[in-house]
Structure 1
Amino acid sequence: MPLLPADTQFLGGLELGGIPIATMVSSLTGLPAVFVRRQAKTYGTLRLAEGADVTGKTITLIEDVITTGGAVRDAAIALRAQGARVAVVVCAIDRSGTGGGRLVEVDVDTRTVLTREQLAASM
């Protein structure tokens, strides 16, 4: 898959829209997926990312739609706090108009399948 960095060790499907996409990309590539919550659970596993220990791993985040980039930004910060390396998000649709919105604040590269402009032009 040309949008995925070669050093990706895990796909991080963001709750909720990114999870089915990450699951399918995992099936196609053989890369394991973890499912990333907006906030760590306060009961049970107490985990932010379910599926594997992310410490020291390079995670490419997967999101369905980016509008401001805030949710992906927060996930990248939280995963980094747990020792993961996060530098790229792949999204199906980037509606930010700025290439990922707030993600530039945390040095996360946005790779998109479609932009808002491309969608508008196809209608």
Structure 2
Amino acid sequence: MANLASRIRARSHLTGTFTLRSGATSTEYFDKYLFESDPVLLDEIAQTLMPLVPSDVDALAGLELGGIPLAVALSLRTGLPMRFVRKEAKTYGTCRLAEGGRVDAVRLLIVEDVVSTGGAILDAVAELRASGATVKKALCVLDRETGGPEKLAEAGIQLTALYRMSELT
């Protein structure tokens, strides 16, 4: 697993000045699209995430945009169906927040790439729960160690991260 961590870092670690979704700035950034666009690395990440998928979920919920490729790869590995979760419901067509099947009475596992404060997960979970889904757990590749797990726990969501930022720096 240490080899995977070093490969993720080598592929996606950038330095400079970056504004995060939370509005905070950072001198380090992990460009998840760089590790998600590498099919070999993405598959290895999914294989390594597989044992972390709890047995009490019905489907994976990949968050737009970075969680989608991870959820697809993990779905292919686990055989679990998935839902494509938008940042907001579209205003045309089906007008759904989540595509790929119903969410009411479905136990979902949120799949995300990088978690900072957990804001994207919290936004999605609020909408999914309002639609009748049960969401108690989330899985990510990288926890930036900036309060995300604690904020998610306050909302009743347990975050499991493949790596913490300190393990990749």
The TM-score with structure 2 as length reference comes to: 0.68
Secondary structure, counterpart of 1:2 in structure 2: helix
Extract unaligned runs of 5+ from structure 2: 1-49
1:89 and 2:138 aligned: yes
Extract unaligned runs of 5+ from structure 1: none
User: Quick one: higher RCO (CA 8 Å, sep 6+), 1 or 2?
Assistant: 1
Q: Deviations over 1:48-82 (max 9, x none)?
A: 00000011000000000001100101111110000
Computing the radius of gyration from Cα coordinates, the structure with the larger value is 2
Task: Map 1:25-40; keep pairs closer than 5 Å.
Answer: 25-40=74-89
1:3 and 2:52 aligned: yes
In the alignment, the residues of structure 2 paired with residue 16 and residue 100 of structure 1 have an alpha-carbon distance, to the nearest angstrom, of 20
The TM-score with structure 1 as length reference comes to: 0.93
Counting matched residue pairs gives 120
Q: Comparing 91-100 with 30-39, which one deviates more in the overlay?
A: 91-100
Flag the structure with higher helix content. Answer: 2
In the TM superposition, residue 101 of structure 1 has moved relative to its aligned partner by 4.6
- The sequence identity of aligned pairs, in percent, is 47
RMSD: 1.1
In the TM superposition, residue 5 of structure 1 has moved relative to its aligned partner by 1.1
In the alignment, the residues of structure 1 paired with residue 149 and residue 87 of structure 2 have an alpha-carbon distance, to the nearest angstrom, of 18
1:116 and 2:165 aligned: yes
In the TM superposition, residue 98 of structure 1 has moved relative to its aligned partner by 3.5
User: Is the Cα contact below 8 Å between 1:67 and 1:101 reproduced in 2?
Assistant: no
